[in-house]
A = this chain, B = another copy of it.
Amino acid sequence: MSELSRASGVSVATIKFYRREGLLPPGVAVSATRARYDESHVRRLRMVRALVEVARLPLSVVRDVVTAIEDHSGMHEVLGTAHTALSRPGPSRPGETPTTRALKQVDGLVRRQRWRVHAGSPSRAALGRALDAYDSLGRSMPVDRLDVYAEAAHAVAAADVAGVPEDSREEAVEYAVVGTVLSEPILLALRRLAHEDVSARRFRTTRRPRD
């Protein structure tokens, strides 16, 4: 187990905890006090740690992902479980039901963009809630702007998914979840930086030499 700790970078105490919680399968016992672990344990540990420490998911939700993997679900189903876990409403994301109006906006968008998404997808509800919050200030996002957003988001998603490793579902989940969470601040910072460029081009008066 100490070798497993070294190989995965996860402490022995944490490994024991994950074992007790059923998030890591047992090793093959080679004596009363020793067990053999392999690469699959290292990958599982890295994935569990990423879900717990980077995505800050509760253990019950991490267990759903582990269960999906152990049920031999296909890659799309396993990634779907991981994404569902990420979009699950939590203390910081209230889980109110979106209004019918917002869900109609979402469904219209999905139809226009011909996206293949499940009717029960939590991202669909999350988008509905985000549209409701936007509308709550008395403004509504114009349909054509929402389509620009959707096409930009799809270009980003296509680049993301192109990088998902296919060899192991654990690695794919770790990559997808960590990649999604850690790249959100990158995307938002890029948008604000781009605002500066667009604003400079539209509004800056020529008080200084051209640059």
Contact = CB atoms under 8 A, between A and B. Distances in A.
A116 B211 contact: yes
A189 B123 contact: yes
**Assembly of this chain: how many copies?**
2
Contacts of A121: 193, 196
Please provide the 3 A-B residue pairs with the shortest distance between their CB atoms, ordered closest to farther.
A157-B194, A152-B152, A153-B190
Contact of A157 (B126, B141, B185, B191): B191
Contact of A152 (B123, B129, B155, B196): B155
Contact of A198 (B134, B158, B192): B158
Nearest to A106: B193
B203 A74 contact: yes
A148 interface: yes
Interface string A137-161: 1010110111011111111111111
